[in-house]
Amino acid sequence: MTKTLYFLCTGNSCRSQMAEGWARKLLPSDWTVKSAGIEAHGVNLKAVQAMAEVDIDISSHTSDLVDTETLNTATLVVTLCGDAADKCPIAPSHVRQEHWGFEDPAKATGTDEEKWAVFQTVRDAIGKRIERFVVEEQN
């Protein structure tokens, strides 16, 4: 039986795209992984570059709006930002929901190097959280 992990964020441009990339790489094949936003901002090119550094290609990902059918049938819905946690449609009670909050790298300030470091830090934190999820699901 296929399970579905659905990542939600405000614009489906950075954090949810990185999470989808990590989860597709790390979860067993019985999981379907998708991401969406309450708005569609397009996939952030720096998120694509950050994931490429860890050999995960998200360049063909699309920025999608929340799909009601996926939301209502997912095994787990994970919000990645406070805005999505507050504004996303409510999934039915049989759908497990969790919030894994991460800083928005697209809003980082400072020099180009400092902004890039935030993308890398958030990317790595999301990867570690998904690694933990994979272990939890195996137990």
Tell me whether residue 54 is exposed, middle or buried, using C-beta atoms within 10 angstroms of its C-beta: 0 to 12, 13 to 18, 19 or more. middle
- What is the rounded distance in angstroms from the CA atom of residue 71 to the CA atom of residue 88? 10
User: Which of 88, 91, 118, 122 is the catalytic position?
Assistant: 88
> Model confidence at 85, in pLDDT bands (50, 70, 90)?
low
Written as six digits, the tokens of 122 are: 């958030």
Whole-structure pTM value: 0.93
Superfamily of domain 3-138: Response regulator (3.40.50.2300)
The average confidence (pLDDT) of the chain is 92
User: Which of 18, 81, 91, 130 is the catalytic position?
Assistant: 81
Is-catalytic flag, 9?
yes
CB atoms within 10 A of CB 68: 10
CB 21 within 8 A of CB 51: yes
Q: Are strands 31-37 and 3-9 parallel, antiparallel or unpaired?
A: parallel
- Specify the pLDDT at position 91: 79
Is-catalytic flag, 14?
no
User: Which of 6, 7, 8, 9 is the catalytic position?
Assistant: 9
Averaged pLDDT for residues 89-104: 88
- What is the rounded distance in angstroms from the CA atom of residue 84 to the CA atom of residue 10? 5
Give me the residue spans of the domains in the chain. Answer: 3-138
